[in-house]
Structure 1
């Protein structure tokens, strides 16, 4: 297996999936998949074995020894079998961003499209953010495959823009959708007494109170009594989300029984619309599990008008148990 000079780590794994520097042995399978999927690729003609050999020998082979290649390509493996290939392309080393490209074995799309996309995105994100220190990764996709948007959203990519009727395809103009994700250096930490005024500002924020069950303004005295009792309570796990060093939200788990916890979370209005709600809930649960491994069930209530939170619970595969003016969502965690 060849290695990229720009990467310290060459193989990135998640369970049974991995990406490795693109393998010469996979070139004809990749050619076949590209030819079958030309409808969504920026490819204008059928590739031949001669084309593919020339590209691998003259273009790809030169990328391995470059300090700052304009693209880094990988074979996507399940076990040792290549089931797709993807890349960071159009890498901008000055502005620290890159486009993501990925296709899978065409025969696997019907059953595994979303699953393989999500696993590939997790791996390529590790390359982009942890290995290369890029600030932003994005996809540029013809508006032809709705399943792709679901995979991107579940991986916390946000729709950045839609270029209306941007490309000419099959005798008509079609739109392009661009989804992106930033390297935010997110961190969860325990809430402390020093967060009293911060959390007081959040609970009385008009935008946050609009989706709270209690609409009344809260006094500093009442909040202080409540907040300090929570962080001192052994049956409460209270975490603060920081984004690039700035406090951006909180999540609290009130442990009602030995193995069950109730969720309450909020985002600072300055940080909404960036996919952080999903990050906060998903990683808050992981942090809870690290600190309280006995918890195996979490649940939360949300007002029916709070569509953003409803989508987050659904995205993270919570089960809806109660309907009405408020909805109850529950999930078993491992």
Structure 2
């Protein structure tokens, strides 16, 4: 991700369909977005990525390295206009980067219980459920369970990569 991507990514992040499934659901200001990017781009533990299909940006992913750089927490979202199947392709590309380029041992993910699409995508990509944090997240109105997932490098090697490039 570069500075030229900032306006596009902010638009995706603030879109109601995306924001509804985020841990922080307020509308992000341009000032807040610029501060976040300035900090993330200087931090070698943060990998902020743009996912493209056919040269067109379709989504955003990040990896936050933890555990002596052997593991990372990840997050992602798509353009609301991204074609069907883009999430799985974004996930595959991000996990390839995590395990093959960064040589991570583990990628960890979390999803709000109400975000069934994210939960399904984690499972489809080979993540294993690692527990549920009951009523862990308060969105200002209600408490929500948080589902935790983990994927180890040798488990990723077993994922059927050709399926990651289909439009299913």
Q: TM-score, normalised to structure 1's length?
A: 0.41
Cα offset for 1:201? 1.0
Which one of the candidate residues 217, 229, 250 is aligned to 2:60? 250
Structure 2 stretches lacking a partner, 5+ long: 135-144, 155-168
Paired residue for 1:310? 119
Cα offset for 1:193? 1.6
Paired residue for 2:106? 297
- Matches of 1:228 and 1:290, distance apart in 2: 27
Say if 1:237 and 1:288, in contact at 8 Å, map to a contact too.
no
Cα offset for 1:226? 0.3
Say if 1:267 and 1:277, in contact at 8 Å, map to a contact too.
yes
Cα offset for 1:236? 1.1
Paired residue for 2:77? 266
Paired residue for 2:164? none
Over the aligned positions, Cα root-mean-square deviation in angstroms equals: 1.3
Say if 1:193 and 1:228, in contact at 8 Å, map to a contact too.
no
Aligned partner of residue 198 in structure 1, secondary structure: helix
- Matches of 1:247 and 1:287, distance apart in 2: 17
Q: TM-score, normalised to structure 2's length?
A: 0.79
Cα offset for 1:213? 0.7
Cα offset for 1:254? 0.3
Cα offset for 1:197? 1.1
- Matches of 1:227 and 1:259, distance apart in 2: 23
Cα offset for 1:248? 0.5
- Whichever of the two has the greater Rg, that structure is 1
- Matches of 1:232 and 1:279, distance apart in 2: 27
Paired residue for 1:240? 50
- Matches of 2:58 and 2:117, distance apart in 1: 17
Superposed CA offset, 1:138-177 (max 9, x none): xxxxxxxxxxxxxxxxxxxxxxxxxxxxxxxxxxxxxxxx
Superposed CA offset, 1:74-111 (max 9, x none): xxxxxxxxxxxxxxxxxxxxxxxxxxxxxxxxxxxxxx
Paired residue for 2:152? 332
Superposed CA offset, 1:7-35 (max 9, x none): xxxxxxxxxxxxxxxxxxxxxxxxxxxxx
Say if 1:248 and 1:268, in contact at 8 Å, map to a contact too.
yes
Say if 1:262 and 1:299, in contact at 8 Å, map to a contact too.
yes
Cα offset for 1:247? 0.8
Aligned partner of residue 27 in structure 2, secondary structure: coil
Say if 2:109 and 2:149, in contact at 8 Å, map to a contact too.
yes
Structure 1: 4+ residue segments shifted above 2 A: 288-291
Structure 1 stretches lacking a partner, 5+ long: 1-190
Cα offset for 1:288? 2.3
Alignment of 1:72-221 (within 5 A): 191-221=1-31
